[in-house]
Amino acid sequence: MSEKRRILVTGGAGFIGSHTVVQLIEAGFDVHVVDDLSNAHSHVMDAIARITGVHPGFSCFDLCDSEKTKKLFADIKPDAVIHFAAKKLVGESVQNPLMYYKTNLQSLVNVVEASLEHGCQKLVFSSSCTVYGQPDQNPVGEDAPLKKPESPYGNTKRICEEILQDTVKAHSLQVVSLRYFNPVGAHASALIGEYPLGAPSNLMPVLTQTAIGKRSGFSIFGSDYNTPDGTCIRDYIHVVDLANAHVAAIQLLLNREKSSVFLVYNIGTGSGVSVKEMVESFERINGLKLNYEYAPRRTGDVEQVWANNVLALQELGWKPHLGLDEMVASAWKWEQHLNKYEKSIHQS
Ligand code: WQD
């Protein structure tokens, strides 16, 4: 029986990270998570163990600490790294750009330096469709011109890709950058899901929190866009499909020869869904009515963006399987589970 390949997952207690850890374990990998829990909960590791029967290795510290990062690599000697750890709130990044540039760039540099120092030459990077800004055409391909992202958060993603591209040219490093579209939904077990700290700004948790009564209602930002129903269009992708794209990227890297490379893939369904369509799907599938009103456009929103995902389909051998119905059903099931869990904590 060959030794299991070990994957280090930074930010592995987060929304996408935790779902990816589950899929990696189920694909037969040995996983070690490092997370500073600044935007995640320690109970997520127990939930992963309940789902998979395996409790991944766990280290808790800030990856901006270079010495601790290098010691981690020396201790666990990963075969590959998936780097999720980053601050990711668009609004917060506008309020506090320096914290975003310092945290997101320093942590990436530390991870890459430690990787190179300890002979780990394979890295999957968590990037974002936000690097496209408002694309000139949809579906948007990986070769589309990158535009100045709407927020410092988005700009850190773009700069991190540039750091990786330059590093690949100077060192023996193989990188896959996955540009996510809009991750939504939750694992079918409802034991892990999106767990926003504080009031969420992104659509799906706003819907689920309205449905459960954590908020009295919400606004649909803008109904006068140049789209069929006037509301913005996005490419929503189920977080489990997104997690599987990371497993596919790791397998691609582990099967590659040594030569340095920087590969980019759009990870979306390839279909656009409007805000109104998402709201109506949520109501229909979950058998409930949501309280909302139309409000003016939200500053910084792009009107419409959805993925050309053909490269990922062809080169990663990956494809999305879970549709809109599963996205809204699993998100709602998770919110109901979370609500019970939070109530049990408050009662204890
Ligand atoms: C989606 C649509 C809103 C809330 C963000 C990040 C991006 C990426 C994906 C990480 C928009 C509308 C929302 C509400 C609404 N993240 N909306 N009422 O802005 O497309 O992208 O997530 O990589 O970097 O910016 O996602 O969910 O915030 O908005 O009408 O209460 O829902 O206006 O049209 P977004 P979102």
CATH code of 293's domain? 3.40.50.720
What is the tens place of the pLDDT at every residue in 269-321?
Answer: 999 999 999 999 999 999 999 999 999 999 889 999 999 999 999 999 999 99
Ligand 1, from 94, 180, 298: best to mutate by most atoms within 8 Å of Cβ? Answer: 298
Whose CA is closest to atom 34 on ligand 1?
Answer: 232
Length of the chain equals 348
Q: How many domains does the chain have?
A: 1
Question: Cis omega (within 30 of 0) on the bond before 97?
Answer: no
Q: Which of 100, 132, 153, 236 is catalytic?
A: 153
- % of the chain at pLDDT higher than 90: 89
Q: What is the pLDDT of residue 348?
A: 63
Distance, CA 297 to ligand 1 centroid (Å)? 12
Q: Which atom of ligand 1 is nearest to the CA of 218?
A: 31
What is the tens place of the pLDDT at every residue in 4-40?
Answer: 899 999 999 999 999 999 999 999 999 999 999 998 8
Distance, CA 233 to ligand 1 centroid (Å)? 10
Report yes or no: 116 and 50 within 8 Å, Cβ to Cβ.
no
Distance, CA 218 to ligand 1 centroid (Å)? 13
What is the tens place of the pLDDT at every residue in 228-242?
Answer: 999 999 999 999 999
For residue 80, give the 3-state DSSP assignment: strand
**Alpha carbon 305 to chain centroid, angstroms:** 17
Q: How many Cβ atoms are within 10 Å of 141's Cβ, its own excluded?
A: 15
| pLDDT, mean of residues 325-332 | 98
Whose CA is closest to atom 26 on ligand 1?
Answer: 202
- % of the chain at pLDDT higher than 70: 99
pLDDT at 262 over 80: yes
End-to-end CA distance of the chain: 45
Report yes or no: 110 and 39 within 8 Å, Cβ to Cβ.
no
pLDDT at 1 over 60: no
Residue 42 lies in a domain: yes
Residue 315 lies in a domain: yes
pTM of the model: 0.97
86 lines ligand 1 (CB under 6 A): no
232 lines ligand 1 (CB under 6 A): yes
What is the tens place of the pLDDT at every residue in 38-77?
Answer: 988 889 999 999 999 999 999 999 999 999 999 999 999 9
CA distance 63 to 17: 15
277 lines ligand 1 (CB under 6 A): no
Residue 70 lies in a domain: yes
179 lines ligand 1 (CB under 6 A): no
Residue 281 lies in a domain: yes
Give the residue numbers spanning the domain of 266.
6-347
**Alpha carbon 180 to chain centroid, angstroms:** 7
Tell me, yes or no, if 180 is annotated catalytic. no
Whose CA is closest to atom 15 on ligand 1?
Answer: 220
Q: What is the pLDDT of residue 216?
A: 97
The mean pLDDT of the chain is 96
90 lines ligand 1 (CB under 6 A): yes
Band of residue 221 on the pLDDT scale cut at 50, 70, 90: very high
**Token pair belonging to 166:** 């330059």
Residue 1 lies in a domain: no
- The residue that leads in pLDDT, 196 or 328, is 328
Report yes or no: 113 and 70 within 8 Å, Cβ to Cβ.
yes
Residue 311 lies in a domain: yes
Whose CA is closest to atom 7 on ligand 1?
Answer: 130
Whose CA is closest to atom 23 on ligand 1?
Answer: 128
- Give me the DSSP letters along 121-169: -EEEEEEEGGGG-S-SSSSBPTTSPP---SSHHHHHHHHHHHHHHHHHH
127 lines ligand 1 (CB under 6 A): no
| pLDDT, mean of residues 128-151 | 94
